[in-house]
Structure 1
Amino acid sequence: MNDKIDVEATVVNQRVTPTFYIKGVSPQVTDKVYPLSSNTKFGSTTLGRDSACHIVVNEPGVSRQHAAFHVEEGAVWLEDLNSANGTFVNKVSISRQEVYPGDLIAFDKVQFKLDVLGDVV
């Protein structure tokens, strides 16, 4: 039996692709959890009142096609789709911005927090 350790061998770490999701925090969406996928058409997850959206939020202040989440190389970008009432990250209006776990995201009065399972590298 060879008890020698090859100190020059490269150790290959397994990278776990993080799974991002948004969790509802306002009364309209309390305890609702929606995964954000990079595998959807065009690599984005859409949110709005329209039934064609990946995440449907039936609230009057949410536009039919309100916003899109883009998961790109371990990061999440949030884009407002010219909504009537705007998209906010930590109470600041955005058009397109990178968002991070713990950020408070609001579509009119509907609020979510971004979270992640796995490590972001």
Structure 2
Amino acid sequence: MALLLAAALVAVVIGVAMDSRHHQCSGFSFAHPGGDCVVWYARDGDRIFDLVIAPRSTFASCYQAAHLRLMAGDTEVAFGSTHRAYICEGGAWRTVPLGELRESAFPPVTVLERCGSTAEVARQILAR
């Protein structure tokens, strides 16, 4: 488990580029007062196609980078093809449509580090 978590975190930190639909996957992780968080997304240029916001341990166990697959609760999706945000808060997943979300509209990590939960991180990023 520790090796899987370490591998996922390395991928997050370096923003590994994956290309199955001409999308790249990028992301970052950080600690906040309520725990820790990974923000991982499929993008083409500035446009975000799919987004995951989850605690690090949850992300490490639910995302398969080699196959671009995400297990969000009981649902498995082809990451980068759904135009949705997948948010895990307290072990429960919810999804919301992304609309025209842009990477350039993300708040600075210094703002996200002050959030108390992944739900609050999601509100900041999605401006909802």
| More helix as a share of residues | 2
> TM-score w.r.t. structure 2 length?
0.29
Structure-1-length-normalised TM-score: 0.30
Structure exhibiting the larger radius of gyration computed from Cα positions: 1
